[in-house]
Amino acid sequence: MILSIALKEWKLLIKEKGVFIWLLVMPALFIVLFGTVLGNLGGGTQTLTYIDNDRTAASESLMTALGEQGGFKLEAKQAGELDDQVDRIREGKLGFLLVVPQGFAEKMTAGGDSLAAVELYSDGASDSAAGIRSALQNVATDYREQRLDAALKQAGVGDEAREQALQSPLQIEEKPQNATEGNAVTQVVPGYTVMFVFFVMISMIRRFIGDKTNGMTARLRTTRMKPLHYLLGMWLAYLGVALVQCAVLLGFGHFAYDVALGDLAAIAVLVLMLALCGTGLGLALSMVVRSENQGMAFVQLITMGGAALGGLWFPLEYMPKSMQTISHFLPQYWGQLAFQDIMTRGDHLSGILPSLAVLAAFALAGVLVALLRFRGFMKSAQG
């Protein structure tokens, strides 16, 4: 009887194109959109707009060095365009402008206390100039080392001694700890998978409220079917929907973006527990809310608030400490943490047991609330 209820619900859901779009197409589009946008942040070529008033070999060498240091696409402007370019910065149409003043080469070779300056115009309301500032600092360090090397050579210091003098006392040894390098896509794919699992609660609330409104639930009381079988059958139906949803989204991320899924057995157990959690909470809400609109409000709060605070949209370390503490009380945080543990840190089932336990606790709490409220739900339907 429970399976019959689930089969009936699956047939109804297949006929509803809106459910298919909301639970499968929409999450895939979110993954494509945010995976593309966030994946290109910092990875594209930034344009370096500049005006060279010196027009010497030294100024050309500076621009070449900046292009190589920061990976900039150089775009030269004429001296007469200075005011127009500054106006563009003030209007927010240009991030920064570099001006090499006349006499730059002369000051570069003058030696002594002479300093060659460049002018950097930037938008104070944006951090788009951070890259060019870093590149300028690196080039300035290179120039300083060249000047120091020349001074040591003139003083008669040998090549080996000069090399040792210019060598940095600090050496960085990279020791990555994760099995797979993380990027924007490894954040987005599991993040939106977790987020949209909880949106299945919308369909659950609509169905339960709809059955109660059109008299379907009341008619069930006149049949030989046990009311509890109706509840479990509906839960099974949407549990299957959540499992398919997760499989499709993770498979899409793997085949479209080459996301490494890690231990598939651990992923399968996590997906099952995540689906139990989302549908368990969906059962509880369906029994508690009095109208579809009230249910939608609660779902929006749980899904969007949980996504923002649970680290689904961006890494949790970017959030304030207080928000990081709050996130530990949300199921979305534990779902995303478990996915990251498997996909980027190479963990197996034993490594995600704490996350599974928390998700199971939320699922159990939701089911218990649903069972406690189910009798009242059926009575209200009869009324």
Q: What is the pLDDT along the chain (383 residues), one digit of tens a residue?
A: 777 777 777 777 777 777 667 677 777 887 887 766 665 545 556 788 999 999 999 889 888 888 887 678 889 999 899 999 999 988 888 889 999 999 888 888 776 667 788 999 988 766 778 888 888 888 888 888 877 777 777 777 888 887 777 777 777 776 665 555 556 778 888 998 999 899 989 989 988 888 888 777 777 766 777 878 888 888 999 999 999 999 999 999 888 888 888 899 999 999 999 999 999 999 999 999 988 889 889 998 999 999 888 888 877 777 888 888 999 999 999 999 999 999 888 889 999 999 999 999 999 999 999 999 988 888 776 55
> What is the rounded CA–CA span in Å between residue 15 and residue 349?
37
Residue 99 and residue 118 in contact, taking contact as beta carbons nearer than 8 Å: yes
pLDDT of 110: 75
Q: What is the pTM of this model?
A: 0.71
Confidence (pLDDT) at 383: 52
Determine the pLDDT at residue 22: 67
What pLDDT shows up at residue 111?
Answer: 66
Distance CA 97, CA 107 (A): 21
What pLDDT shows up at residue 333?
A: 94
Give me the pLDDT at residue 40, please: 53
The distance from CA 375 to its chain's CA centroid, rounded to whole angstroms, is: 41
With residue 365 as reference, give the H or E element that holds it: helix 353-382
- The pLDDT value given to residue 116: 84
Please count the helices (runs of H) and the strands (runs of E) in the chain.
17, 4
User: Looking at residue 293, what DSSP letter applies?
Assistant: H
CATH number of 47-166: 3.40.1710.10
Please, where in the chain does CATH 3.40.1710.10 lie?
47-166
State the Cα–Cα distance between residues 79 and 53, nearest whole angstrom. Answer: 6
3-class secondary-structure state, position 53: coil
Cβ atoms < 10 Å from Cβ of 117: 11
Strands (DSSP E) found in the chain: 47-52, 73-77, 96-100, 119-122
pLDDT of residue 381: 66
343: helix, strand or coil: helix
Angle at which helix 264-288 crosses helix 227-257, to 10 degrees, equals 140
- Distance from C-alpha of 327 to C-alpha of 311, rounded to nearest angstrom: 8
> Which residue matches tokens 């594209």?
44
Looking at residue 158, what is its pLDDT? 81
Write phi, then psi, for 336 (nearest 5 degrees). -65, -40
Q: DSSP letter string over 333-355?
A: HHHHHHHHHHHTT---GGGGHHH
pLDDT at position 160 is 80
pLDDT at residue 219 in the model: 75
